[in-house]
């Protein structure tokens, strides 16, 4: 008769082999076909940061837990990219939440002009469920860098503008960076993030 300790050891060995086999399968499986996004080989954690949202509440790493997050940077005075992108996100919000819960996060890189009230009004216009957050540049610069985004103040006086990245970053429910959604050109117009391609890519990534 087979002794119990031997049975336990054999069971543990089989479980270990199964976990290793599953891990190797994940590492060698083909990456998904994405239309307008880049999926990182491994999720990347974000260094600690501290912003304030449109209600004056802290918005930090802990705020990103529990849901997928789609982050876009800009400023409320932006004449083109920001309102166009926010409009697309508002139109796609239901579809973006179809596969798994997702929050949209707008990070203002114009903290001098984008007050709490202005951010609240901006989100109210597009979708009150969206999060808007900002902080001094000393906090924004390192955060945008680790997100893979850039911005720069252009001009002087009250009429300055802000050049900024037009891509979006997708974070998993652990608050880790997993993918970048990039503008794409069809050869006939300026690069832009196309609504259905973005939704398709995000749903594909969420289902992995």
The C-alpha angle with vertex 50 and arms to 46 and 52, in degrees rounded to 5, equals 130
- Residue 105 in 3-state DSSP? strand
Contact predicate 142/47, CB 8 Å? yes
pLDDT of residue 3: 52
- Could you say which DSSP state residue 61 is in? G
Burial zone of 68 (CB within 10 Å; 0-12 exposed, 13-18 middle, 19+ buried):
buried
pLDDT confidence band for 8 (50 / 70 / 90): very low
Element (H, E) at 162: strand 161-164
| DSSP classification of residue 75 | -
Closest C-alpha to 77, from 121, 139, 46: 121
pLDDT digits (tens, 9 = 90+) for 84-135: 999 999 999 999 999 999 999 999 999 999 999 999 999 999 999 999 999 9
Residue owning tokens 């999060």:
131
pLDDT at 136: 98
How is residue 135 annotated by DSSP?
Answer: -
**What percentage of the chain has pLDDT greater than the value 70?**
84
Residue 132: the pLDDT is: 98
Model confidence band, residue 55 (pLDDT cutoffs 50, 70, 90)? very high
**Mean pLDDT computed over 69-91:** 96
pLDDT of residue 31: 72
DSSP tag of 157: G
CA distance from start to end of the chain: 44
Give the residue-averaged pLDDT of 137-161: 95
Please state whether beta strands 151-154 and 37-44 pair in parallel, antiparallel, or not at all (unpaired). unpaired
| 107 φ, ψ (degrees, to nearest 5) | -100, 115
Q: Measured between alpha carbons, how far is 142 from 146 in angstroms, rounded to an integer?
A: 6
Reported as half-sphere exposure (CB side, CA atoms, 13 A), residue 150 has a value of 2
Predicted TM-score of the model (pTM): 0.84
- The confidence score (pLDDT) of residue 61 equals 98
Residue 4, pLDDT above cutoff 80: no
Report CA dihedral (194, 46, 130, 169) to the nearest 10 degrees: 0
- Residue 93 tokens, joined: 């919000």
Asked if the model's pLDDT at residue 12 lies above 50, the reply is no
Confidence of residue 189 (pLDDT cuts 50, 70, 90): low
pLDDT score at 9: 43
């Amino acid at each position: 008769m087979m002794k119990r300790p031997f049975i336990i050891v054999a069971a543990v060995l089989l479980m270990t082999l199964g976990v290793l086999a599953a891990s190797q399968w994940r590492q060698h499986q083909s990456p998904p076909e994405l239309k307008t996004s880049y999926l990182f080989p491994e999720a990347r954690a974000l260094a600690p940061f501290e912003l304030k949202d449109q209600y004056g509440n802290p918005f930090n790493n802990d705020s990103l837990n529990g849901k997928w997050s789609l982050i876009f940077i800009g400023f409320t005075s932006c004449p083109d990219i920001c309102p166009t992108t926010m409009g697309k996100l508002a139109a796609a919000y239901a579809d973006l939440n179809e596969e798994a819960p997702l929050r949209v996060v707008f990070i203002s890189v114009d903290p001098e002009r984008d007050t709490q009230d202005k951010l609240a009004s901006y989100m109210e216009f597009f979708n009150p469920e969206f999060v808007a957050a900002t902080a001094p540049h000393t906090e924004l610069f390192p955060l945008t860098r680790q997100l893979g985004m850039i911005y720069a103040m252009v001009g002087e006086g009250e009429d300055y503008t802000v050049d900024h990245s037009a891509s979006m970053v997708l974070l998993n429910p652990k608050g880790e960076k997993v993918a970048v959604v990039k503008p794409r050109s069809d050869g006939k117009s300026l690069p832009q993030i196309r609504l259905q391609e973005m939704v398709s890519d995000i749903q594909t990534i969420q289902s992995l």
